[in-house]
Structure 1
């Protein structure tokens, strides 16, 4: 009886939320061990929890420097959390089950469906296998290129390790680095190889696994789905307009783009546009950005990557669906159409719900931060909260300065951003699948 009640209570949304929380606390325990630190003294649990959450939720915000604080053991723990968090623990678990030849039941398939944000159970196991194989292939190729480039700056073994670490961190949109002193990739601001490889990894990881599988099938004669077309067009548009925004706003700022040549300005602007929507790597100092550029970054971070990807935010498709619906209302159309296909009203409602919940959450956390961190400028607090929610990892060098309560708020924000505000809401609410037997009369309200 108790087993049946537990099985009924553990919905796919609840399994995902509990699973991610378990992964985070396991990571925090390992990172707090003395063996995880170079000093031999265990990291305090709050900082360990923050770091584990940032790694498992593929964010990249750090309160301690990854290179100088963590030993090889600690760095491998962080890298493992990034890989599992990026792919999704259910994806990793399913691949292990497939590899060992065990059978995957209906409940597991439902959880995988929820985790990957797909509409059908059909082919979900094949999708998992393809996701893991494509991920490993992309990371391996890009790790080799990065290792070759880094070998000019460091010993070969270290270059290989750095290549693997940063390839995984980039593809999973995590933003953790091993260059020390919170520098991120500022030392490679004008290096085309490092910039282009990291951008390719970030973009591919942020497209979504279903889109990558779709692209994989195009040479075989299959057409792209409407979802994939929307993702690709929206991503390209955001990358271009994002880069133009940074170039116009920062081109004369001597602390960011002002001292660079035009070619390097364009490269740094495109990199900033790429990383702002999900990854957290930086080739310029975000603490030196103008307020207008910080606000521009906040908008990009709030949108984030694409559904079913390693990225956070409200997602590209959510944003474009809302814009398409608003346009259809303005133009007096009865339905919202894209690529000669009508968008399901439930998808539109879901998009609005995700955006509203996310906005309310962001306002609430930022408000709480203005109380606990009252000595810090509002725009920087909003930037930090949005970066956490979007699992981006960019910071104006604020994260290490946060109070314990501020760190806790950002930790919770990163967790919600990775699990998804709607998934978490469904996990916390009772199962309301029974339709109401009573329908009340409609009432006309005045709005606007």
Structure 2
């Protein structure tokens, strides 16, 4: 059995940056219990893949598939991955991107696992049959889907984050402002786990981060299926949407270094049934010296302009769980952070265990515009503010219509869940376990 001692053996020091971040703390993983599933899979033969997949193909479950560098699924090509298949990144050789699977515009990825045999993208250190090695965020590069749906960037030459340093960055364009296809189909991801992913490039001159996340979606259309996908121990965000119209159901973000769910550049899809679960023994991103991990981070775009379509996800049945105590809660920033002219609709949402529950940050000192928020049946806890506004540099309490209950208690409010805080013993998110979040397809102990 694989017995991983994160942080009991080593301290991880990662540079995990998003907007205006300059580094990460060195808070290390606590000991995780052993997991037999990797030990059972690690003896399978390894098939290494690199470069472009030139014809439609299937990755079968009788092998471990190793991604060396960047593997591209080009226009007109479909990659199918069987249920129960394990995919790992190659051991890094230098600073180049590796373990990155990119579905380019017009390509398709059909990775359809089952509740008992998910498709797993994970660390090479979990599949080496060596009990002494340990997995770290960034061991797997990430999964990137690129489509032809609308974006609000004003150009068709958007290179997806994290791949801007490539020799031919045009192959990583996403979205469109002129030839949009909002029903574009990039394939189907069901019962998929993405673990220990991420790639972080040096911060840009504009102060913005440049990262590959666990699952990155750029201009992905509504013909794509995203259902029962879990991202765990990512080096940056778990899920990030750059424009597009793709809908998603039954999402789990666990132990994210940075944001659990990040929305930018005109995303207008729906998210139904999602869980963001903190593990405060994981790594945590910083903005300068301040915590910068959010349950949701939402921008219209980097400048906060009025470009349309406005970023406006519609999210139903969402649970965001941080830390039980204010001491551990201080590792994070906001459960939900709406900023830079973004819009948000929430229905049936509970957030708890962050310093601020819901923060509405305005642009350039403008007044709060309540029309940007449409909330129904939302409960919010924050150790400092349950609901707040930030106007310029001033943060103050804000009453938000549709937030039916608020709390600033310490310990954090469980909002009727049995015991939602992961680090506090046996955890249980009943009665908000809408997506089988504690079922056999998930794995919280590596």
TM-score calculated relative to the size of structure 2: 0.26
TM-score calculated relative to the size of structure 1: 0.26
When Rg is computed on C-alpha atoms for both structures, the one with the higher figure is 1
Larger proportion of helix:
1
Larger proportion of strand:
2
Greater relative contact order: 1 or 2 (C-alpha under 8 angstroms, separation 6 or more)? Answer: 1
